[in-house]
Amino acid sequence: MRQTIFPLLFVTLTMATTASAQNPVIRDQFTADPTARVFNGRVYLYPSHDIVPPEGVRQDWFCMADYHVFSSDNLTDWTDHGVIVSQENVPWGNPTGYSMWAPDCVQKNGKYYFYFPNGPKEGRGFAIGVATADLPEGPYKLEPKPIAGVSGIDPCVLIDNDGSAYIYWSGMGIRGAKLKDNMIELDGELQEVKMPRREGMPEMPPMKVGGQQMEGLPDGFKEGPFAFKRGDWYYLTFPWVRGDTSNGATPTETLAYAMSKSPLGPWDFKGIIMAEHANHCWTNHHSLVEYKGQWYLFYHHNDFSPRDDKRRSVCIDKITFHADGTIQEVKPTLRGVGIASATSRLEVDRYSAASTNVNTALNDTTHAFRGLHASLPQKGSWITFGDVDFSGLSDSYLVVCAKAADNTEFYVREKNAKGKVIAKVTMTVKSEITRPGSPTPFRRDQSNQWLTLTVPLEYTPKGVADIAVTCEGAAEVSIDWLQFKNRPNYFTTVPAKSAPTQPDERGFIRRWQLREPIKQDIRSNVIFTDSWLRKTFADELDKLPKQKAKWYTLESETYNIKIFRFAEKYGSQLYGNLFWCETNIDCAEDIENIRLAVGSNGASMWWLNGEEVLLLEGDRRMVEDDGVSNRLTLKKGHNVLRGAVINGPGLSDMCVRFIDEQGKPITNFNIQ
Ligand code: FUB
């Protein structure tokens, strides 16, 4: 038998990762008809791949040209392994049919069998092809012919405890058949069936059909069989149009199921797994899988294409079984499954639950993959978002992307709408905000636009907790996402009685004692004249011994001391501060004819052993060696270098070192 080999060609060279604990789970392409399987401890997702039909192809119909496979070990972070099978490479398939509908993949004796429907090169209808691989993500090798005796779509394979394999498909109802050990042929005789003649079409020759009709299923349109075994029950689950409009439901697909004690039935119909989609998306298609002790329902919905129900996206929700094996109906959520790290972007617009007046809408109606936002219209409106893991938080703050009129308040709380307040957010004209991707905050002056705000925390939950966002003001608040961030470690605390350190190789002093910032109300740095600075520093210096302020001994990660980060952590405001700093220098001998060289943002003044040695007046930037003192001596033994840095509306930092006559750094002293 000739086998067509399509080696690595089919696997895209890069693997993309998407992190999305919410529904839909794949956010950069349409994905439908999800079959989830657990292989080697990971969940593999084999969906079909909806695309927008190219020109010349029917625009209002399903359009699929290839298959991707995705995998995850937490149902949150998904790796796209790329294309595994493509229509132009199927030896028997129509290369421009765009009919690569719902697939499945199973593993037997270490080999992976990928089953997929496709339109044949000649004739009409669908056949089911097989591709095999040594790994779940491929590369896959295509069988030259489809499975004889199977005419239809939506293949699903069940492997029983004794290794017997059964295939189910839809076409003329739902059919099932035993597979031979080779997994690519039906076991048993094929029957000749006369094909019904379609109006205007030539008569078709009779077809050889295998397997048997699945008995016991309800009337009404059925497709997409997914069969599995749990305990000693076999389940046959399937999209089903119940056609019952009495409860207001439109005749679109539900997900339904039947149970049996034998793999090919007869089946005992049990009811609904998921009701019709509320927005009338016509199809649903699904699979059930147990992973790490929890059962999950994978299904699809047209969230990213609300006006076109042939472009769909895969969602996941938890599913539970009653003690008698029957299934509890699943209500679709936007939150989906998986524990979301508090430090990842929490798309709270895809909430677990919401007050009835909350609306969700696309951020950009022309680019659905740009996501959604949720609007909380009035005081008391709320959304909750389950399973957030706070364990990775230390010294953190909240970043939130929201839109509201000025002075509108909303809170982030633990657990629910009445829970403990984690952070209070007020949208004000003078909000200090950070552009995404930029570390520099700035001030905004317009209202009711999308803003990314940085907010201090009132309280940090422990472990895994649910959170809620509550509207506290009279006006509407729209929320896109939240994220908790840990402040980077710009400083290390130096414990008392630590060993002395030295300046770095460029002579910069990194160990400092910093007094907690002193708030200043300074609108502009133009006031930093010599006389103003001398008076201000002299007054403050006078007060220093009388104050009960806290001093911190810190070692900086960088040569320039980011005292604005110190202010952020230990002060009441980021801008408008006076900082006192001291460092203790021990010399083995006198070091003469050297100069103190300082860069500071903004102005600063420096004293060595109580004597003023340098003043940097005016509105300064931190530039290395911006101001240099007269010649001075670091005396043998102990020396104290003291500085005062002051800034109005800017972010403060400083770099300090001693240099010799040639400008070379002095490094031969200890710092206590
Ligand atoms: O995706 C194309 C078809 O739509 C599937 O094969 C059916 O199950 C339905 O979901």
Residue 21 pLDDT level (bands cut at 50, 70, 90): low
**pLDDT single digits (tens) 541-589:** 999 989 899 999 999 999 999 999 898 777 777 788 999 999 999 999 9
Beta-carbon count within 10 A of 497 CB? 6
The finding on whether 48 has its CB within 6 A of some atom of ligand 1 is yes
Measured from the CB, is residue 101 less than 6 Å from ligand 1? yes
Of 116, 285, 302, best ligand 1 pocket probe by most atoms within 8 Å of the beta carbon:
285
Q: Say if CB 290 and CB 283 are below 8 A apart.
A: no
Tens digit of pLDDT for each residue in 581-611?
999 999 999 999 999 999 999 999 999 999 9
Decide whether any atom of ligand 1 lies within 6 Å of the 285 Cβ: yes
pLDDT band at 319 (very low <50, low <70, confident <90, very high): very high
For 146, 349, 431, 496, 578, the CA distances from 553, given in Å and listed in that order, are: 74, 43, 31, 8, 17
pLDDT at 16: 60
Is residue 236 exposed (0-12), middle (13-18) or buried (19+ Cβ within 10 Å)?
buried
33 labelled catalytic: yes
pLDDT tens digits, residue range 501-539?
A: 999 999 999 999 999 999 998 988 999 999 999 999 999
- Helices (H) then strands (E): counts for the chain: 2, 48
Q: What is the mean pLDDT of the chain?
A: 91
Cβ(224) – ligand 1 distance below 6 Å = yes
- Ligand 1 atom closest to residue 223's alpha carbon, by position in its atom list: 8
User: Sorting pLDDT into bands at 50, 70 and 90, what band is 171?
Assistant: confident
Indicate whether 670 pLDDT > 50.
Answer: yes
Question: What pLDDT, on a 0 to 100 scale, did the predictor assign at position 13?
Answer: 38
More confident site: 572 or 17? 572
Pick the atom of ligand 1 nearest to 154's CA.
6
**Residue type present at position 539:** D
Spacing, Cα 667 to ligand 1 middle (Å): 73
User: Does the C-beta of 37 come closer than 6 Å to ligand 1?
Assistant: no
Cα-to-chain-centroid distance, residue 533: 49
User: What pLDDT, on a 0 to 100 scale, did the predictor assign at position 207?
Assistant: 82
The type of residue at 154 is D
DSSP H helical ranges for 530-579? 530-543, 563-570
pLDDT score at 446: 54
Strands 627-628 and 653-659, bridge-based pairing: unpaired
| 169 close to ligand 1 (CB < 6 Angstrom) | no
Determine if ligand 1 sits within 6 Å of the CB of residue 581: no
Q: Do domains 340-486 and 491-671 have the same CATH topology?
A: yes
CA–CA distance, 333 with 315 (Å, rounded to integer): 9
- Beta bridge mates, 17: 79
Ligand 1 center to 320 CA (angstroms): 25
Residue nearest to atom 2 of ligand 1 (CA): 101
First to last CA, the chain: 81
Q: Does residue 322 surpass a pLDDT of 80?
A: yes
pLDDT at site 649: 86
pLDDT band with cut points at 50, 70 and 90 for residue 292: very high
The catalytically annotated residue of 66, 137, 143, 223 is 223
What pLDDT is stored for residue 489 in this prediction?
79
pLDDT of 358 above 90: yes
- Ligand 1 binding pocket includes 153 (Cβ within 6 Å): yes
More confident residue, 353 or 489: 353
DSSP one-letter code for 115: E
Q: Is the pLDDT of residue 10 over 50?
A: no
Does residue 223's CB lie within 6 angstroms of at least one atom of ligand 1? yes
Q: How far apart are CA 322 and CA 230, in angstroms?
A: 12
pLDDT band at 205 (very low <50, low <70, confident <90, very high): confident
Give the closest residue (by CA) to ligand 1 atom 3.
101
The pLDDT of 662-667, averaged and rounded, is 96
Closest by Cα among 155, 160, 196, 146 to 174: 155
pLDDT of residue 248: 65
Cα–Cα dist 579/647, whole Å? 9
Mean pLDDT across 70-87 = 96
State the Cα–Cα distance between residues 152 and 462, nearest whole angstrom.
Answer: 52
Q: Which atom of ligand 1 is nearest to the CA of 239?
A: 8
How many whole angstroms from 215 Cα to the centroid of ligand 1?
22
Nearest CA to ligand 1 atom 7: 224
Q: What's residue 573's pLDDT?
A: 77
Residues 6+ apart with CB under 8 A from 547: none
CATH superfamily of 340-486: Galactose-binding domain-like (2.60.120.260)
Which ligand 1 atom lies nearest to the CA of residue 170? 8
**Lowest mean pLDDT, pick from 192-206, 243-257, 442-456, 612-626:** 442-456
Question: What is the atom index within ligand 1 of the atom nearest the CA of 300?
Answer: 10
> What is the pLDDT at residue 177?
97
Residue 189 CA, chain-centre distance (Å), reads: 50
Does a cis peptide bond (omega within 30 degrees of 0) precede residue 602?
A: yes
220, 348, 565 from 374: Cα distances, Å: 37, 8, 33
Three-state DSSP state, 615? strand
Residue range 312-326: mean pLDDT, rounded: 97
CA of 284 to the centre of ligand 1 (A): 8
- Is the CB of residue 283 below 6 angstroms from any atom belonging to ligand 1? yes
Laid out side by side, the sheet with 111-118 consists of: 104-108, 111-118, 127-133, 141-142
> Which three-class secondary structure string do you get for 130-191?
EEEECCCCCCCEECCCCCCCCECEEEEEEECCCCCEEEEEECCCEEEEEECCCCCCECCCCE
**Is the CB of 358 inside a 6 Å radius of any atom of ligand 1?**
no
Interval 74-83 mean pLDDT: 94
Ligand 1 center to residue 246 CA distance, Å?
26
2: pLDDT strictly greater than 50: no
Give the domain 26-197+215-319 fold: Tachylectin-2; Chain A (2.115.10)
Q: Does the structure show a pLDDT above 80 at 235?
A: yes
Say yes or no: CB of residue 237 within 6 Å of ligand 1.
no
116 lines ligand 1 (CB under 6 A): no
**pLDDT: which is higher, 64 or 473:** 64
Please state, in angstroms and rounded to a whole number, the distance separating the CA atoms of residues 493 and 510.
Answer: 12
Region 193-219 average pLDDT: 83
Residue from 33, 303, 309, 472 carrying the catalytic annotation: 33
More confident residue, 436 or 540: 540
Tell me the CATH class for 491-671.
mainly beta
pLDDT tens digits along 298-310: 999 998 898 899 9
What is the structure's pLDDT at 5?
A: 28
Tell me the average pLDDT across 312-334: 96
pLDDT reported for residue 570: 78
Per the CB < 8 A criterion, the answer to whether 503 and 666 are in contact is yes
Residue 367 pLDDT > 90: no
- Candidates 50, 101, 282: which one to mutate for ligand 1, based on the most atoms within 8 Å of Cβ? 101
Every domain of the chain and the residues it spans: 26-197+215-319, 340-486, 491-671
- Find out whether the peptide bond into 34 is cis, omega within 30 degrees of 0: no
Residue nearest to atom 9 of ligand 1 (CA): 283
Share of the chain above pLDDT 90, in %: 76
What separation in Å is there between the alpha carbon of 153 and the centre of ligand 1? Answer: 8
Please name which of 167, 660, 233, 578 lies closest in space to residue 566, comparing C-alpha atoms: 578
Q: Assess whether pLDDT exceeds 60 at residue 323.
A: yes
Residue 104 identity (one-letter amino acid): D
Cβ of 368: how many Cβ atoms within 10 Å? 21
Higher-pLDDT residue of 339, 101: 101
For 662, residues 6+ apart whose C-beta sits below 8 A from its C-beta are none
pLDDT at 392 over 50: yes
3-state SS string for 262-325: CCCCCCEEEEEEECCCCCCCCCCCCEEEEECCEEEEEEEECCCCCCCCCCCEEEEEEECECCCC
Residue 389: C-alpha distances to residues 342, 392, 479 (Å): 5, 7, 20
Percent of the chain with pLDDT over 70: 92
What's the average model confidence in pLDDT over 159-179? Answer: 96
Whole-angstrom Cα distance, residue 46 to residue 104?
Answer: 6
